[in-house]
Structure 1
Amino acid sequence: MTHRPSTTEQIVIRGVRHNIRHWRVPAGRDGHAGQDAPVVFFLHGWMDASPTFQFVVDALLSDWHVIAPDWRGYGDSEWLLRPYWFSDYYADLHEILAYYSPERPARLVGHSMGANIAAIYAGACPGRVAQLVMLDFLGLKPAVNDAPVLIGKWLRHLARTPAGSVYADSEAFAARFMQMNPRLSRARAQFLARHLGRRRDDGRIEMACDPWHRVPSPLPYHAEDNLASWRRIAAPVLLVIADHGYAMLRFGSDPAEFKRRVDCFRDVRLVRVAEAGHNLQHDQPERVAQAIEAFLTRD
């Protein structure tokens, strides 16, 4: 399987070293072809990293300069080895866009947590986002626990150093990917294992995500805060919903709530992707790429 090559660079954003992945259009014989390809930012989800979009990038038909950061504590970005605060992602995204797209509103494609960050940001800074694609995200259900319960749970987690799963080698890690997602081919699972894993000093493989991300937040989740942000988004929005993903799992049996959330966006289009789970960028990358390009190029 041949993949479109990427390059990475390290930049410091708000005092934290970030790894930024680029998929660029190859230069032509004059050395300049592809220089002016439009920029689109791909934002990964929780316990993931920028290589997760490789299969979608491979399926893109038009020329794009895809920029995909590893969020702080993910992939090859700096691991803080302490608790993380979600609001930092909004500020990190703001600075990343200022660095790579200082004068033009940005096209954003976010998966799961990345879609959450992008949508909240687009509501807070509507003039900085030109188009927004949200992959399998319509928010979470209202939290069950109140603040004192969550704070107590958080304090108990802080009393011990968190740890993630460890695998004997890359093949064992790939087998775990296939166990979690039966739609995943062995070739794709092996690619993900190579690029989303990190070799430890003892030679074993761990997920390339700081285990501190697994510590639950002490702050209650308020769904209405998200919906209020969505109502402020000025950019056109594309919702790409997997038939077997989290959005349908959470709200598929409640059509009224599903519609209430979709209706928060003033300019929205919705595409359903069959035979795909939450990681639809792995399950149906061609369909996802087609939906993204049809939306981003429509104007």
Structure 2
Amino acid sequence: MYQVKRISHSEFVPIRNLQYHVRVWGEPAPDKTPLVIVHGWMDVAASYQFVVDALSHDHYVIAPDWRGYGQTPSGGVDNFWFPDYLADLDFLLDHYAPNSQVNLVGHSMGGNVAMLYAGVRPQRIRRLVNLEGFGLPATTPDEAPGRYAHWMDDLKKLHRGELALKAYDTVDGVARRLMKTNPRLGLDKANWLAQHWAQQDAQGKWAILGDPAHKVSHAQLYRLEEVQAIYARISMPVLMVEASSDSMGQWWKGKFTLAEHHERLRVVPQLEIVRVEDAGHMLHHDQPKQLAELIERFL
């Protein structure tokens, strides 16, 4: 089992009619800029434990479980709207840093949330680190009818139970699933993560702590012009961290490429792009020490 070096504690914060679970490492202090780190799709805040352990300085780290993940409830909804993540983050910062800036780190979906939030509320962010948050392929208005139809079809699948997440007989089964998804993940880390990524239900099964409604497709189009307008307002320095394994190539099969992503980022005024070797999309699991060094150097 992985041996934790820095112990976290849980806090539950009232945010927009939800009791948001927030994992906190360290203590606030006048000389510390809060380090807010947000996770990606089908992940949890505890996923950053390895990076926090690798930090060389004593940071005040704040990591929420997004709505419908980990120990944060979903509020009974049957689909999730991306703007809610921005609003949740805004309320979270009102709670933890009402009168100060924060350093913001986001992975994957969380990286996309962080980028949009930084353009909408640039005054609240001192430094921004985006870990493999690439955005989505551009869409055109003629795709709207099909997108709405797909969304409604997914809602029906959800209510028929067709999008349910698999439950596992043992926590070891969860760990093995994590290792299958990420071959670089060692057994010690997988065993530790599994206990935070799932919990035992009333039937004794280990259920993933992610609402299946997250699998419902978005009804709205990804409007690139809007995203670019927001990116152009990102006034703080930005560090874009990419893994050596080309996640985008695997996902989009040429529909959206890393080169296109870099072209979009040209509107960000202060941008640095770095690559982490021997890492896949879950680079905070694969190379936590290298990533911690990059983050601290940038901050």
**TM score, norm. by length of structure 1:** 0.91
Indicate yes or no: 2:298 matched with 1:292: no
Whichever residue aligns with residue 165 of structure 1, its letter is K
Contact between 1:38 and 1:63, CA under 8 Å: does it hold in 2?
no
Does 2:274 match 1:271? yes
Off by >4 Å, runs of 4+ in structure 1: 33-36, 247-256
After superposition, the Cα gap between the structure-2 partners of 1:55 and 1:255, relative to the gap in structure 1 and judged at 3 Å, is closer
Q: Which residue of 2 aligns with 1:44?
A: 39
- The answer to whether the Cα contact below 8 Å between 1:243 and 1:275 also exists between their aligned partners in 2 is yes
Match of 1:30 in 2: none
Q: Deviations over 1:138-181 (max 9, x none)?
A: 21222488111121122122222441111111001101111111
Once residues 172 and 3 of structure 2 are traced to their aligned partners in structure 1, the CA distance between those partners, rounded to angstroms, is 20
Name the CA shift for 1:223/1:247 in 2 (closer, same or farther; >3 Å).
Answer: farther
Report % sequence identity: 38
Please tell me whether the aligned partners of residues 33 and 101 of structure 2 are also in contact (alpha carbons under 8 angstroms).
no
Alpha-carbon distance, 1:213 to partner = 0.8
Does the CA-based 8 Å contact 2:243-2:281 persist in structure 1? yes
Are the counterparts in 2 of residues 111 and 136 from structure 1 also a CA contact under 8 Å? yes
Number of the residue aligned with 2:154: 157
Equivalent residue letter for 1:167: Y
- Are the equivalent residues in 2 in contact too, given 1:9–1:19 (CA < 8 A)? yes
- Counterpart-to-counterpart distance in 2, 1:126 and 1:62: 26
Tell whether 2:117 aligns with 1:116.
no
Aligned AA (1:275): D
Alpha-carbon spacing, 1:74–1:255, altered in 2? closer, same or farther (3 Å): closer
Q: 1:141 — aligned with what?
A: 137
Which runs of 5 or more residues in structure 1 are unaligned?
26-32
Say whether 1:280 aligns with 2:283. yes
Unaligned runs of 5+ in 2: none
Write the deviation string for residues 32-67 of structure 1: whole angstroms up to 9, x where unpaired. Answer: x96754310000011111001000001000110100
Residues 253 and 150 (structure 1), Cα distance of their counterparts in 2 relative to 1, 3 Å cut: closer
2:21 counterpart letter in structure 1: N
Q: Name the stretch that deviates more: 33-42 or 135-144.
A: 33-42
Partner of 2:92: 96
Distance of 2:179 and 2:88 partners within structure 1:
32
Tell me the CA shift for residue 130 of structure 1.
1.1
Write out per-residue CA displacement over residues 81-121 of structure 1, whole angstroms, 9 at most, x where no aligned residue. 32221111111111111111111122100001111111101
* Structure 1: distance between partners of 2:171 and 2:31: 38
Q: TM-score, normalised by structure 2?
A: 0.91
- Between 137-146 and 178-187, report the one with greater CA deviation: 137-146
Change (3 A) 1:245 1:35: farther
The corresponding residue for 2:238 is 237
